[in-house]
Structure 1
């Protein structure tokens, strides 16, 4: 018989029972459910709502169930719908009627709310640690490539010279923000909904501060209706995960381009590539492609939960049973993607010569040529027009700004002199950009130091 069966005259139809059941996915919250029940039982005993010896018996029974689940000796029942009712039924079977006292002053509504928060609260530090590991790889790659000149792009067209180190630090800053977003989410969700009951707390003198402290929350939630109907924390978490995956996907796209023969800026390690079943020459960037593809999966989880919640009146509605699977799937996806991406990045080979050769083409030092004229007194717009004419001349004559004879420079402006070649040298172009945040070596070293400090504060 179901724990809630008193009101009903018929057994639940088998089809409805299967449809209604969530044990197939919420069983993974068994640790959180038992932790919440232990905290609740201890509070019931301390406040005198049940006898102390009853609370102790309940806690011992729950601890034994936890040990048996961990040992693989428990089979959950579809008949008992969810993890909450499965554990409570087991408890009553093991310790008798005392087990029926556990649910005093509690509803499955606040029970599932606290389980879900505890689960997400546990997983956020796992993801943060993984992203910090990725940051370490980015630092390593940056420090090894401070002088590796490459083209920077806008519109996927070669634009201005930069370095591979500067490029890596761009992503390092994105992932730093991802970490802080997850930290912010963790801070906001650090409130305990246990004790809210179905929606309006209880007539029993429950101590919500005790249970919140016992479960490691900063404080209880402030409003009982909000406590059981809030899934903001899960939506915010999925939003942070989606942004993280977006950054991974952008980075994956770059690596996919860079390892193609059209770019050949990097070589992927054989251990992080696959081949073709028909084309023996192929070396495919499947890790990067799968990360890019799995990003849509995490986006889907966010949209699922936003859509699920958008029309729900307060307080709890059964629709909210559908909140867990998208969150679980997003967690599994992110925790799968970040480590394998980090390992792929750590093992790739940088083709410094190819990057330098690409940087030598495409007139990416054209801005520096204009700046050369400006520094000698010419207005920027006039300098801009002159360099545009030079580029057009170079294209027609098969030259670059680096190889163009000085007489051709002087033909468009007498200001040009032999020192123009030093000004247009790629190393000069990069290291002259010493502005805070720029690609000059000293600036990139500051960026690396900043990320290192950020990580050190979290160790």
Structure 2
């Protein structure tokens, strides 16, 4: 146990009262600021313990800490890592780092070696990076799983015909499969960005001191290796005060949540009585307490609400990072908010995958919406170009005129005679259009299959996209699983090494 001055309390000791500061913090500072800071750090406990253990092992190897003291410190750190019942967080003892220090101080005099050449902020930052690194891998797994579910449903529904919508107006015929696959590509781009972000977070800030390192050997590379990092952040001051990594992270959360929000909002609209294209499974709905007929798509509402939260968090992280370069206030909130946001993003992605898996598409309604309207107007205009020699602007004007004249009917009311007569009236030109050509132009399956080039709705184009997307999602999933297993193995290896040295 550390011997305290008779007039010195544990709180005064860990908060360095009596040195530069002569009086303890006010109750208001403790109960508001310290309490808030501590609340945002609680989830860093395990990672901070691993950081302390790795740093102590390296200190023993490099010998700035005597062997007996180092072994005693390791033993106390390993005991603390088990979250003993007598470890109780209190804002009176400051943040997570000094709360841990207070507990250690009551058990070993070796605690004085723990902070040799280390800033409190460096230890907390390293723990934060460790937590974020694991959270991002879980998020990557969830996104890859969601993407795989999109691909699976797109394959099932590659011929489930429905209108595509622009401005919420029926535009052209498509399939539910082609529509769903349009959301897979933004997910792949987010996975690419996550891959780059993980590589940035997989460089360790440990041992950087506070701004320019320390005269006391820190063994940065050795400590980073013990914690499973690929290397260290090269510049010590940059390692301590990086802001762009957090902005990059919240940016990915922002883009990813907006992609899912757009899909959720579409599905919510498609599930209305007016559209009637889809129905959510009951497990993803909520009943109204006053209107017995209602089935509210509550899961989709949650996905949309999460996007709103990420937009707000993006502004918070970005604004709090716009400080002088050596300020901790851009971290105090982020330590808690950002890992929690990644955790929630993981849950939202898993929820959306489950929604898609159990979604029911109303095929009859999809076909009815196309056949009762003018979604084949573009196909008709393109047929007039390909079969009748009209330039596209002329064909567009002709079909637009017919749509206005017969808007109360569907496009199927047209005959070759009507189109030929309208062409003479509007354009002053005589064309030849057979009934077979018109029927082909207004054939739904032909409209789907005729879009043969890359990205289109044809079966060959869809097959190529489905295979490419499936391969990408599988690759990211396997990569995340390998990395997560590696990090778990490194943690177990670190604890085994520490136990062996502590009990030697």
Q: TM-score, structure 1 length as denominator?
A: 0.95
**SS at 2:164's partner residue?**
strand
Moved over 4 A (4+): none
1:212-231 alignment runs, 5 A limit: 212-231=224-243
Asked if the contact 1:76/1:86 (under 8 Å) is kept, the reply is: yes
**SS at 2:413's partner residue?**
coil
Aligned to 1:389: 401
Asked if the contact 2:139/2:343 (under 8 Å) is kept, the reply is: no
Does residue 449 of structure 2 align to residue 434 of structure 1? Answer: no
> RMSD of the TM alignment (CA)?
1.7
**SS at 1:197's partner residue?**
coil
Match of 1:210 among 194, 199, 222: 222
Aligned to 1:457: 475
Partners of 1:453 and 1:73 lie apart in 2 by: 50
Partners of 1:329 and 1:212 lie apart in 2 by: 24
Aligned to 2:415: 405
**SS at 2:333's partner residue?**
helix
1:124-139 alignment runs, 5 A limit: 124-139=136-151
Partners of 2:474 and 2:121 lie apart in 1 by: 40
Does residue 142 of structure 2 align to residue 166 of structure 1? Answer: no
Asked if the contact 1:235/1:306 (under 8 Å) is kept, the reply is: yes
Distance change in 2, residues 1:138/1:153 (3 Å): same
Q: Deviations over 1:68-94 (max 9, x none)?
A: 35xx66321222211111222222322
Aligned to 1:248: 260
**SS at 1:437's partner residue?**
coil
Match of 2:434 among 417, 420, 427: 417
Match of 1:280 among 281, 286, 292: 292
Kindly tell me the number of residue pairs found equivalent between the two proteins.
453
1:9-408 alignment runs, 5 A limit: 9-21=22-34, 22-68=37-83, 74-94=87-107, 96-310=108-322, 312-376=323-387, 377-395=389-407, 398-408=408-418
Q: TM-score, structure 2 length as denominator?
A: 0.86
Asked if the contact 1:45/1:54 (under 8 Å) is kept, the reply is: no
- Which segment drifts farther, 256-265 or 380-389? 380-389
Distance change in 2, residues 1:347/1:210 (3 Å): same
Asked if the contact 1:256/1:288 (under 8 Å) is kept, the reply is: yes
Q: Deviations over 1:302-325 (max 9, x none)?
A: 211111121x21323345322223
- Which segment drifts farther, 116-125 or 386-395? 386-395
Gaps in structure 2 of 5+ consecutive residues: 1-11, 424-430, 479-504
Q: CA deviation at 1:401?
A: 2.5
Aligned to 2:466: 448
Q: CA deviation at 1:196?
A: 1.4
- Which segment drifts farther, 326-335 or 292-301? 326-335
Q: Deviations over 1:156-213 (max 9, x none)?
A: 1111111100011001112111222211111122211111112221111222111111
**SS at 1:151's partner residue?**
strand
Q: CA deviation at 1:249?
A: 0.6
Asked if the contact 2:416/2:435 (under 8 Å) is kept, the reply is: yes
Distance change in 2, residues 1:407/1:314 (3 Å): closer
Higher RCO, 1 vs 2 (CA within 8 Å, ≥6 residues apart) = 2
